[in-house]
Amino acid sequence: MSATVKRPGHTGRTRPSGLAELAGRTRSMGLAGLGVRRGAGRGLALGTAVAVLAFAAPATADAGAAGGAVPVTAAAVPVAGAASVADALSWTVRDVAPGVQVRTGVLSDPAAAGVWTVTVQAPAVDRLTGAATWAPLADRAWADATAERLRAAGFAPRLEQVTWDRYADTPRGTMGWQVRVGRYATQTAARTLGSAVTAAGFRTAVEWTGYDGRQPADAERVHVAVLDPARLRGTIEASDGGDTADRERTSVVAARLGSLVGVNGGFFVTSDADGVQGTSAGLSAVHGELQSMAAGSRAALILQDGGRRARIARLSTTVTVRAGAASRAVQGINRVPGKVRNCGRPGAVPTALPRQDVTCALADDLVEFTSDFRAPLPTGSGVQVVLDRHGVVVSGGARGGSVPVGGSVLQGTGTAAAWLTDHAGTGRRLEVREAVRDTATGRRIRLGAHDTVVSAAPTLVRDGRVHVDAATEGTLDPLDLSFGFAWSNTRQPRTLAGIDGRGRLLLVTVDGRQPGVSEGLTLAEAAAFMRSLGAVDALNLDGGGSTAMAIEGTLVNTPSDATGERAVGDTVQVLPATGVDAH
């Protein structure tokens, strides 16, 4: 059976359609090799179904069919190791421009049957700070004792075992146990029960079980942009909108730049309490210039030569300022001295390791501000020096003011302030040296004017294998179940990036936090999904309410924030050859 599809300006083309083609593509792409089967547990059934969704898209694009969309619907698609997939699998293919194709998929599984429930929280202690907190799970002894207390209070609890996902750097086996009460079709009903359980002396959270990674998801909405640098007439690069210290919506930046496809980029500061909103919380480079330093060693998407060469690696940064024979390490770029979002800097308290969504303190801090930092400079204790475009100190004194056009500013606190006072007098020339290194090889990454870097966490796929560095890159803590469980192990909206075996860049968004509509992916599911797309290397970009994809300036996904699309710190944009300068 075949279907003839006609697109504007093109003759019809004939290709197989229906179950035979989809099943054939699934087998040829080696899905069985993933070891992912329906019913295998921990939500891997979702990974299987989504893999079929991904493979269903044509392997090649109709090069000139810009804006064309080919809708296809399939039912009961065979999957390796399973009888069928739910009968609501559909996808469309849109050839936006030569080398730019967007595949949109909707996967539904009516058998998943998510419900609203009440999860009892376990008392815990933050391992780094010693502060009392709460965890969504704990050991079996706590679960048994809590269940007994609930029964005595007139409730009917159930215990659910949670096992570790297959991260590269965490234990195997049982992570802990959750204690839950009730199954309801509506959130309102579950909240009523939750209030009663809370009144009986328990800490509670009302949750949708479809977010659990250990059971199939009800539905997912996926957008996959496949970018072929060999055919693309344009560039792929990171954009901070021209100001590293502000926030803009992905679709707004895309529309202004005339972008073909745009997605949100890396982590950024979202609260005044944590720094200047919009500044990157990790490594960022735009047009070869560092705009933020790495949080330890985390995954990064490196786009060199305008995206002609793309790769993914874990990167670290070192920056040093020299005044003659004297030198001092710079610990930050374009951030508030003393505040290190996501931690990961030497001397940071309470940890020098990466720690997602945590702001660490640094008493003796030296921070550089570039001319792309267009917000008022931070004020407070310490000193600053202002440098011209040649690195010559033109003034010094209290912190504040603004960065001069083409110049830069160094601010120091603690012993770093004393160093500036001693070595950075007016008229003195300072030299700032920067180094970006691949931590796996130790090799230096030299960035040119057409190179950009977006960093996030964690690594998902490495050298063709699923390899999730969740603990190493600080998105969860195996020794502290109060930290990172929801971020890593429950389904969330995600933005992902990968490089396939043909050198194509894959930019992916998965909507989430929409029960029964689109629930998102866990980190483990995200890794399996990217591997199913053929990614040889992949990483997790910023997600949650930040997840956004725009095609030709129009938002195409459904963000999870109640107020709509979130303004973000930076984006990744695919620009046509006539596009304006993304910087």
Supply the pLDDT for residue 399: 98
User: Which 8-state DSSP code applies to residue 208?
Assistant: E
CA–chain centroid gap for 131, Å, is 28
Name, in order, each residue with C-beta under 8 angstroms of 269's C-beta and a sequence gap of 6 or more.
275, 276, 277, 278, 279, 280, 281, 335, 341, 569
Rg (CA), the chain: 25
> Strand 393-397's sheet: what is its strand order?
332-333, 366-369, 408-412, 383-387, 393-397
Tell me the residue type at 564: G
Give pLDDT tens digits along the chain (583 positions): 333 222 223 333 323 222 222 223 332 222 222 223 222 333 333 433 333 333 333 333 333 333 344 333 322 222 222 223 333 446 799 999 999 999 999 888 888 889 999 999 999 999 999 999 999 999 999 999 999 999 999 999 999 999 999 999 999 999 999 999 999 999 999 999 999 999 999 999 999 999 999 888 888 999 999 999 999 999 999 998 889 999 999 999 999 999 999 999 999 999 999 999 999 999 999 999 999 999 999 999 999 999 999 999 999 999 999 999 999 999 999 999 999 999 999 999 999 999 999 999 999 999 999 999 999 999 999 999 999 999 999 999 999 999 999 999 999 999 999 999 999 999 999 999 999 999 999 999 999 999 999 999 999 999 999 999 999 999 999 999 999 999 999 999 999 999 999 999 999 999 999 998 999 999 999 999 999 999 999 999 999 999 999 999 999 999 999 899 999 999 999 999 974 444 4
Cis peptide upstream of residue 350 (ω within 30 degrees of 0):
yes
Distance CA 206, CA 200 (A): 16
Secondary structure (3-state) at 74: strand
Token output for 174: 């049982």
Q: What is the pLDDT of residues 304-317, one digit of tens each?
A: 999 999 999 999 99
The whole model's pTM is what? 0.86
Q: How far is CA 404 from CA 280, 323, 376, 386, 556, in A?
A: 21, 21, 11, 8, 39
